[in-house]
């Protein structure tokens, strides 16, 4: 099990995504650069945490923790912001990210049209996220 959030967790995600031919097929036309995820602190997790995923033609080319979203902003199609509890719910499959976006629990900075255009690819990537054996710091 990998602790969420951590570089170990990101590495496990990349390992699973690399083996997913369906993900590669759905995302084969993605050439728009990276996606930044920003985990905002809440009552269950006190740290702000950012990760960068460089996606290209359905593959994860780079995935790492970054100190601040500005570090990779110019190389990214969009940044996705949500509180820890929302990200946790997404990882566990308890929160639908589209509904969370519609409710304002997720904020997107960048090309929202592109996000919608590639909704199937993004949803498949989220399905891949849910395959990572995960432990959470607030569940001990």
Query: What is the mean pLDDT of the segment spanning 47-63?
Result: 96
The conformation of residue 28, written as its DSSP 8-state character, comes to T
User: Is residue 79 assigned to a domain?
Assistant: yes
User: Is residue 136 assigned to a domain?
Assistant: no
Residue 81 to residue 6: CA distance in whole angstroms: 17
User: Is residue 81 assigned to a domain?
Assistant: yes
What pLDDT does 99 receive?
A: 93
User: Is residue 60 assigned to a domain?
Assistant: yes
User: Is residue 138 assigned to a domain?
Assistant: no
Range of the domain at 35: 2-129
User: Is residue 94 assigned to a domain?
Assistant: yes
Query: What does the block give as tokens for 88?
Result: 């946790």
CATH number of the structural domain spanning residue 27: 3.30.1050.10
pLDDT > 90? residue 140: no
Give residues with Cβ within 8 angstroms of 68, minimum separation 6.
Answer: 50
CA-closest candidate to residue 115, choices 105, 123, 40, 85:
123
The conformation of residue 37, written as its DSSP 8-state character, comes to E
Q: Give the tens place of pLDDT for each residue, 11-33.
A: 999 999 999 999 999 999 999 99
User: Is residue 53 assigned to a domain?
Assistant: yes
User: Is residue 135 assigned to a domain?
Assistant: no
Q: Considering the entire predicted model, what is its pTM?
A: 0.93
Give residues with Cβ within 8 angstroms of 114, minimum separation 6.
Answer: 32, 77, 78
**Number of folded domains that form the chain:** 1
Q: Give the tens place of pLDDT for each residue, 85-111.
A: 999 999 999 999 989 999 999 999 999
């Amino acid at each position: 099990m990998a602790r969420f959030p951590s570089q170990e967790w990101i590495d496990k995600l990349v390992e699973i995504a690399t083996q997913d031919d369906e993900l590669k097929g759905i995302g084969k036309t993605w050439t728009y650069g990276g996606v930044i995820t920003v985990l905002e602190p809440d009552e269950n997790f006190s740290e702000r945490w950012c990760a960068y995923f460089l996606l290209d033609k359905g593959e994860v080319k780079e995935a790492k923790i970054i100190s601040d979203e500005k570090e990779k902003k110019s190389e990214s199609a969009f940044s996705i912001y949500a509180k820890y509890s929302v990200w946790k719910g997404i990882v566990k499959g308890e929160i639908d990210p589209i509904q969370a976006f519609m409710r304002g629990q997720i904020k997107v900075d960048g090309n929202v049209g592109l996000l919608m255009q590639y909704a199937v690819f993004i949803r498949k990537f989220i399905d891949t996220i849910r395959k990572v054996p995960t432990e959470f710091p607030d569940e001990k």
